[in-house]
């Protein structure tokens, strides 16, 4: 220690003047700790170094968790804004046919889905002129079809929102779009007492856009607004 320092004088003076620069640099601190352990020899265990390594590992995990939470919060905020914009657009039309056509147009674009279809159960003939005009977005099915479709043939009650990945869309729901649908969000619709149920199906070409692990709160809210809007048109 009494010999001539091996470090460049300018660098040495900068370190003495600003020691915090080293303390704040993790790589430099690791190198210094490693050098200190080598100087102490292999028979000595540096508990401070072990404690610091554990603290650093814990800090890294906390930072990763923090980043994940922030990313999830931004995603949720973006999803909320997206659904709100779609609802506002859905409430704009003053004519029923425009309302339905917008579903497969601007509303679908806002929600970033490749196909959006409304399925209504009815005992009437599918040759209804309205169905013919709106065949691109509206289809009519026999009573019981929606419950069977949502439960995938199983004897279980359908959930309000069903998210799933599929090998191909059902042509009875998506029509000519069925071939490229790889995931879907199906919203069960209740139009009130005395009326048969309906279903709003959102199809996506991306197989990962909708999956059972995702939350359904926003889509449940969207379905509730859609139900109330449809009741107004059906009254």
Residue 77: its pLDDT value, please? 73
b/e map 165-179, b = 16+ CB within 10 Å: eeeebbeebbeebbe
Residue 164: its pLDDT value, please? 94
Report the relative pairing of strands 183-189 and 198-204 from DSSP bridges.
Answer: antiparallel
- pLDDT tens-digit series, residues 158-192: 889 999 999 999 999 998 889 999 999 999 999 88
Domains and CATH numbers, the chain: 94-234 (3.30.450.40)
What residue ranges of the chain have pLDDT lower than 50? 1
- pLDDT tens-digit series, residues 29-44: 777 777 666 666 655 5
Q: Which of 167, 160, 233, 168 is nearest to 199 (CA)?
A: 160
* The model's pTM: 0.67
Number of other CB atoms surrounding residue 132 within 10 Å: 10
User: How far apart are alpha carbons 152 and 70 in whole angstroms?
Assistant: 36
Q: Which of 100, 77, 81 is nearest to 90 (CA)?
A: 100
b/e map 43-63, b = 16+ CB within 10 Å: eeeeeeeeeeeeeeeeeeeee
């Amino acid at each position: 220690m009494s010999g001539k320092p091996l470090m460049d004088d300018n660098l040495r003076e900068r370190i003495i003047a600003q020691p915090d620069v080293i303390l704040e640099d993790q790589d430099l601190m690791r190198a210094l700790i490693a050098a200190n352990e080598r100087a102490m020899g292999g028979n000595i265990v540096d508990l401070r170094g072990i404690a610091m390594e554990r603290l650093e590992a814990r800090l890294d995990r906390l930072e990763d968790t923090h980043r994940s939470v922030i990313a999830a919060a931004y995603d949720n905020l973006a999803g909320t804004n997206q659904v709100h914009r779609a609802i506002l657009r859905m409430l704009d039309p003053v004519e029923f046919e425009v309302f339905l056509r917008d579903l497969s147009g601007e509303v679908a674009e806002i929600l970033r889905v490749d196909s959006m279809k409304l399925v209504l159960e009815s005992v009437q003939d599918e040759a209804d002129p309205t169905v013919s005009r709106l065949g691109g977005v509206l289809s009519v099915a026999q009573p019981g079809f929606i419950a069977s479709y949502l439960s995938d043939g199983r004897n279980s009650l359908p959930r309000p929102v069903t998210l799933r990945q599929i090998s191909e869309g059902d042509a009875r729901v998506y029509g000519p779009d069925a071939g490229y649908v790889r995931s879907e969000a199906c919203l069960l619709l209740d139009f009130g007492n005395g009326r048969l149920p309906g279903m709003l199906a959102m199809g996506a070409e991306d197989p990962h856009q909708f999956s059972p692990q995702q939350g359904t709160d926003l889509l449940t809210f969207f379905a509730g607004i859609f139900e109330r809007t449809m009741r107004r048109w059906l009254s």
